[in-house]
Amino acid sequence: MSDLAEKVLRGEVLSTARLIRDLDDGIDGAIAELKILYPHTGKAEIIGITGAPGAGKSTLVNRLIENFRSRGKRVGVIAVDPTSPFSGGAVLGDRIRMQNHFNDPGVFIRSVATRGHLGGLSSSAYEIIKVLDAFGSDVILVETVGVGQDEVEIAGAAHTSVVVLTPGMGDEIQNLKAGILEIADVLVVNKADREGAQVTVQGLRRLLEMGGFDRKGWKPPICLTVGTEGTGITELVQAVDQHREFWNRQKAQPGFENKRREEDFLRILQGQAVSKLIVSLRRSGSLDEIVSRLVRGESDPYSESEKVLKLGD
Amino acid sequence: MAERKIRILMAKPGLDGHDRGVKVVARALRDAGFEVIYTGLHQTPEMIANTAVQEGVDAVGLSVLSGAHNTLFPAVIEALRKKGANSVMVFGGGIIPEEDMAFLKDKGVKAVFTPGTSTEEIISFVRTSVKSIH
pLDDT tens across B22-60, in order? 999 999 999 999 999 999 899 999 999 999 999 999 999
Domain membership of residue A126 (yes or no) is yes
**Could you count the other beta carbons within 10 Å of the beta carbon of residue A198?**
12
The distance between the two most distant Cα atoms of chain B, rounded to a whole number of Å, is 44
Averaged confidence pLDDT in chain B: 93
Q: Are residues A201 and A67 in the same domain?
A: yes
With beta carbons less than 8 A apart as the criterion, state whether A235 and A223 touch.
yes
Q: Are residues A192 and A269 in the same domain?
A: no
* pLDDT greater than 60 at residue A119: yes
Per the structure, the count of domains in chain A is: 2
Determine, for residues B31 and A89 on separate chains, whether the beta-carbon distance falls below 8 Å: yes
Rounded Cα distance, A155 and A142, in Å: 11
Domain membership of residue A270 (yes or no) is yes
* pLDDT greater than 80 at residue A102: yes
Considering CB atoms only, which of A13, A102, A113 is closest to B35?
Answer: A113
Which long-range contacts does A268-277 make (Cβ < 8 Å, 24+ apart)?
A271/A123, A275/A26, A277/A308
pLDDT of B107 reads: 96
Q: Are residues A138 and A273 in the same domain?
A: no
Rounded Cα distance, A117 and B33, in Å: 16
With beta carbons less than 8 A apart as the criterion, state whether A164 and A57 touch.
yes
pLDDT of A272 reads: 87
Domain membership of residue A20 (yes or no) is no
What proportion of chain A, given as a percentage, has pLDDT over 70?
Answer: 93
User: Taking CB atoms and an 8 Å cutoff, what residues of chain A touch B54?
Assistant: 13, 17, 108-110
User: Taking CB atoms and an 8 Å cutoff, what residues of chain B touch A21?
Assistant: 4, 7, 56
Give the Å distances, CA to CA, from B43 to A96, A248, A268, B38: 10, 41, 39, 11
Q: Are residues A144 and A272 in the same domain?
A: no
pLDDT of A37 reads: 97
* pLDDT greater than 80 at residue A1: no
* pLDDT greater than 60 at residue B1: no
Domain boundary among A207, A226, A253: A253
Rounded Cα distance, A216 and A239, in Å: 17
Domain boundary among A232, A253, A274: A253
Q: Are residues A215 and A67 in the same domain?
A: yes
Domain membership of residue A161 (yes or no) is yes
Domain span holding position A273: 258-308
Domain boundary among A217, A237, A253: A253
Q: Are residues A240 and A267 in the same domain?
A: no
Q: pLDDT: is A194 or A177 the higher one?
A: A194
Averaged confidence pLDDT in chain A: 91
pLDDT of A55 reads: 93
Mean per-residue pLDDT, A159-177: 77
Rounded Cα distance, B8 and B1, in Å: 21
Helix (H, G, I), strand (E, B) or coil at B18: coil
Lowest mean pLDDT among A52-56, A83-87, A152-156: A152-156
Residue A68 CA neighbour count, 13 Å, CB half: 29
Determine, for residues A103 and B38 on separate chains, whether the beta-carbon distance falls below 8 Å: no
Determine, for residues B36 and A91 on separate chains, whether the beta-carbon distance falls below 8 Å: yes
* pLDDT greater than 60 at residue A312: no
- The B89-94 sheet, strands edge to edge: A90-92, B35-38, B7-11, B59-64, B89-94, B111-113
Rounded Cα distance, A250 and A265, in Å: 20
User: Taking CB atoms and an 8 Å cutoff, what residues of chain A touch B36?
Assistant: 89-92
Domain membership of residue A300 (yes or no) is yes
Considering CB atoms only, which of A21, A83, A89 is closest to B56?
Answer: A21
Q: pLDDT: is B1 or A9 the higher one?
A: A9
DSSP B1-13: -PPPPPEEEEE-B
Rounded Cα distance, A175 and A6, in Å: 48
pLDDT of A151 reads: 76
Q: Are residues A239 and A266 in the same domain?
A: no
Q: Are residues A245 and A279 in the same domain?
A: no
Residues 6+ apart with CB under 8 A from B131: none
The CATH-assigned architecture of domain B7-131 is 3-Layer(aba) Sandwich (3.40)
Residues 6+ apart with CB under 8 A from A278: A287
Looking at this predicted complex, what is its ipTM? Answer: 0.94
What proportion of chain A, given as a percentage, has pLDDT over 90?
Answer: 69
Residue B130 CA neighbour count, 13 Å, CB half: 23
Chain B interface, best mutation among A111, A135, A140, by max B CB count within 10 A: A111
pLDDT in tens, A241-290: 999 999 999 988 888 889 889 999 999 999 888 888 998 999 999 999 99
Determine, for residues A87 and B30 on separate chains, whether the beta-carbon distance falls below 8 Å: yes
Domain regions of chain B by residue span: 7-131
- CATH for A81: 3.40.50.300
What proportion of chain B, given as a percentage, has pLDDT over 90?
Answer: 87
Rounded Cα distance, A159 and A133, in Å: 13
